[in-house]
């Protein structure tokens, strides 16, 4: 599991501040959990639709690399090869809506 309470050290520091269990519980209950579940479903579906030529772990690697280096072209290729151009458009549009909703939630 990528993010699980039991995998965290006794305390975690972000910007020099200790992160307590309350913060971890909030993160576990937040939209982050929903995003993580949706990503897992997408990765497994891509793997199945591609006949298992790439494992879910390899597909996750494509997404995580894109997250850290900002290059989403490999994701676009993977999604277009799997679902066609409309699949890529749908993913891009739904992601934009989710990010917009998340940003609005921060402003409240």
Q: Which residues contact 57 (CB under 8 A, 6 or more apart)?
A: none
Q: Domain limits of the chain?
A: 32-107
Q: Look at the chain and count its residues.
A: 108
42-46: Cβ within 8 A, 24+ apart: 42/91, 46/78, 46/79, 46/82
Report the pLDDT value the prediction gives residue 95, as an integer from 0 to 100: 73
Give tens-digit pLDDT for 42-64: 999 999 999 988 999 999 999 99
Model pTM score: 0.61
């Amino acid at each position: 599991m990528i993010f699980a309470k039991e995998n965290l050290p006794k305390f975690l520091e972000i910007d020099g501040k200790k992160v307590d269990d309350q913060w971890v519980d909030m993160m576990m209950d937040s939209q982050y959990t929903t995003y993580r579940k949706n990503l897992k479903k997408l990765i497994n579906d891509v793997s199945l639709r591609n006949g298992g030529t790439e494992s879910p772990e390899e597909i996750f690697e494509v997404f995580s690399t894109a997250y850290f280096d900002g290059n989403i072209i490999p994701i676009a290729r993977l999604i277009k090869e799997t679902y066609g151009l409309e699949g890529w458009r749908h993913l891009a549009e739904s992601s934009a809506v989710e990010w917009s909703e998340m940003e609005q939630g921060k402003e409240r």
